[in-house]
Amino acid sequence: MANPVISGDGIFSHVFLGAADMEKSITFYDAALGALGISNLGPFGNGWNLYGRDKPAFLIARPGNGDEPSSNGATVGFAAASPAEVDAFHAAGLKAGGTDEGKPGPRGHLPGAYAAYLRDPAGNKICAYAFV
């Protein structure tokens, strides 16, 4: 397999994850995503909270059907500019109430990949990847 080409062009309009406790989730995502240069763009609509660099691309909220959030088997990956950003993402997320799902470091399954994994306060699995 050739080295993957990672560009700023995405294929998603947005990603939405459920949150059991919005206050804890906002604290977590403000810290972890802030380390990647992703901003809290504020609340919207029926209790949604929006994140992005220049437009909303990542949303958190209580699930619309009222059930508890569940993400077993799903992971949302965020682009990092450097391994240092990945390290900062992981450290900030842990400090803000997340749990470790994979310490920062090289990932053998993708050439040049450096990543870290976290679980947010609702149990959603997220990661940050940089390619060097």
pLDDT in tens, 102-131: 999 999 878 899 999 999 999 999 999 999
Name which of 19, 3, 6, 23 is nearest 128 in CA terms: 6
The CATH number covering residue 45 comes to 3.10.180.10
Helix and strand element counts for the chain (H, E): 2, 8
Q: Quote the domain boundaries for residue 123.
A: 15-62+75-131
Residue matched to tokens 């810290």: 31
- Return all residues near 63 (Cβ < 8 A) that are at least 6 apart: 18, 69
Burial class (CB in 10 A: 0-12, 13-18, 19+), 35: buried
Question: 3 versus 11: which is more confidently predicted?
Answer: 11
Cβ–Cβ < 8 Å for 104, 83? yes
What confidence score (pLDDT) does residue 7 get?
A: 46
pLDDT for position 11 = 67
Give pTM, 2 decimals.
Answer: 0.82
The 10s digit of each residue's pLDDT in 54-75 is: 888 999 998 877 888 876 668 8
Q: Which residue has the higher pLDDT, 131 or 7?
A: 131
Query: Would you say residue 77 has pLDDT above 50?
Result: yes
Residue 9 lies in a domain: no
Higher pLDDT, 84 or 64: 84
Mean pLDDT of 42-63: 88
Number of structural domains found in the chain: 1
